[in-house]
């Protein structure tokens, strides 16, 4: 894993924005995998800035988001689709038909997960997958467990994860859906390159275990060690348990 440590969150967003921008410039029809969550918000703002100020164009790029809640429409303010519209899709020139999302309202959720895998494969796979990490080491909604599911699948969310997502639901964890759809660790590991981003001291322990620890389903992020092109973007607090400069 290639570690990149920055003094603060703002510098992480700057560097990661530039990293994504350079991949898009190099390959305008790139297939990007994208996360939601608090961590990438500043990076998405940076992409918007590069689009407005430097003419960075996403017109030929395609995107696949990692996950979505079950039972929420894309226009629900708590949905990940809504989040992405607000923080990225409405602010840059992505073509709506090249934005791919899991539909948490699909009549048959298993069929919907298979459809997503097929759509990813049809575009030749994800070139660059950006990932956040939960403080329990989850990636996408692949929660720590005895076993992990490789492909896109239907998941039951852990209580802690529902608490972490309460902000979009008026701060009330009880209003956070109990289920979600998520790319599997296999889907993620099939991407050409992976970038994991984490900021803040709350992530320090899971980052240390992700980078240095054994590969275990009890820490889904540890599976990233098995991919040959992983970059990890951290601020100092998130890197505080790693002995790196
Ligand atoms: C969201 C996702 C999650 C988040 C993780 C970290 O699409 O896949 O795994 O990346 O929960 O969330 P934040 O950034 O809010 O700490």
Q: Strands 230-235 and 2-6: what pairing?
A: parallel
Q: How far is the CA of 66 from the centre of ligand 1 (A)?
A: 9
**pLDDT recorded at residue 89:** 98
From first to last of the 245 residues of the chain, give the pLDDT tens digit.
Answer: 999 999 999 999 999 999 999 999 999 999 999 999 999 999 999 999 999 999 999 999 999 999 999 999 999 999 999 999 999 999 999 999 999 999 999 999 999 999 999 999 999 999 999 999 999 999 999 999 999 999 999 999 989 989 989 998 999 999 999 999 999 999 999 999 999 999 999 999 999 999 999 999 999 999 999 999 999 999 999 999 997 66
Q: How far is the CA of 79 from the centre of ligand 1 (A)?
A: 13
* Contact by Cβ (8 Å): 236, 151: no
Q: How far is the CA of 38 from the centre of ligand 1 (A)?
A: 7
**pLDDT recorded at residue 16:** 98
Rounded to 5°, the CA angle 99-102-107 comes to: 130
Q: Whose CA is closest to 230, among 105, 139, 134, 95?
A: 139
Q: Is 136 a catalytic residue?
A: yes
**pLDDT recorded at residue 245:** 62
d(CA 233, CA 122): 29
In sequence order, what DSSP letters do the residues of the chain get, joined into one string?
-EEEEESSHHHHHHHHHHHHHHHHHH-TT-EEEE--SSTTHHHHHHHHHHHHHH----TT-EEEESEEETT--TTSTTSHHHHHIIIIITTS---GGGEE---TT-SSHHHHHHHHHHHHHHTTS-SEEEE---TT--BTTB-S-SS--SSSEEEEPPHHHHHHTGGGGTT-GGGS-SEEEE--HHHHHTSSEEEEEE-SGGGHHHHHHHHHS--BTTBGGGGGGGSSSEEEEEETTTTTTS---
Is 37 close to ligand 1, i.e. is its CB under 6 Å away?
A: yes
The one catalytic residue among 68, 138, 164, 165 = 138
Q: Is 158 a catalytic residue?
A: no
Alpha carbon 235 to its chain's center: 17
Protein residue closest via CA to atom 3 of ligand 1: 140
d(CA 231, CA 65): 19
Q: Is 73 a catalytic residue?
A: no
Q: Is 18 a catalytic residue?
A: no
């Amino acid at each position: 894993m290639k570690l990149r440590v920055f003094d603060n969150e703002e510098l992480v967003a700057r560097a990661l924005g530039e990293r994504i921008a350079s991949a898009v410039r190099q390959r305008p029809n790139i297939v990007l995998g994208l996360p939601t969550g608090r961590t990438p918000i500043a990076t998405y703002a940076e992409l918007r800035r590069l689009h407005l100020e430097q003419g960075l164009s996403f017109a030929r790029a395609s995107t696949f988001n990692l996950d979505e809640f079950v039972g929420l429409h894309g226009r629900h303010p708590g949905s990940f689709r809504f989040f992405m519209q607000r923080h990225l899709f409405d602010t840059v020139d992505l073509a709506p038909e090249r934005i791919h999302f899991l539909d948490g309202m699909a009549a048959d959720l298993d069929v919907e997960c298979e459809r997503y895998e097929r759509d990813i494969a049809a575009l030749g796979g994800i070139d660059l997958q950006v990932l956040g990490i939960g403080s329990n080491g989850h990636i996408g909604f692949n929660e720590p467990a005895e076993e992990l599911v490789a492909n896109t699948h239907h998941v039951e969310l852990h209580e802690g994860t529902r608490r972490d997502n309460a902000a979009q639901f008026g701060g009330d964890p009880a209003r956070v859906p109990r289920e979600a759809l998520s790319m599997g660790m296999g889907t993620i590991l099939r991407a050409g390159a992976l970038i994991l981003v984490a900021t803040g001291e709350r992530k320090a322990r899971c980052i240390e275990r992700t980078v240095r620890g054994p590969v275990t389903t009890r820490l889904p992020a540890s599976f990233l060690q098995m991919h040959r092109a992983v970059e990890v973007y951290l601020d100092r607090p998130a890197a505080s348990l790693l002995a790196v400069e």
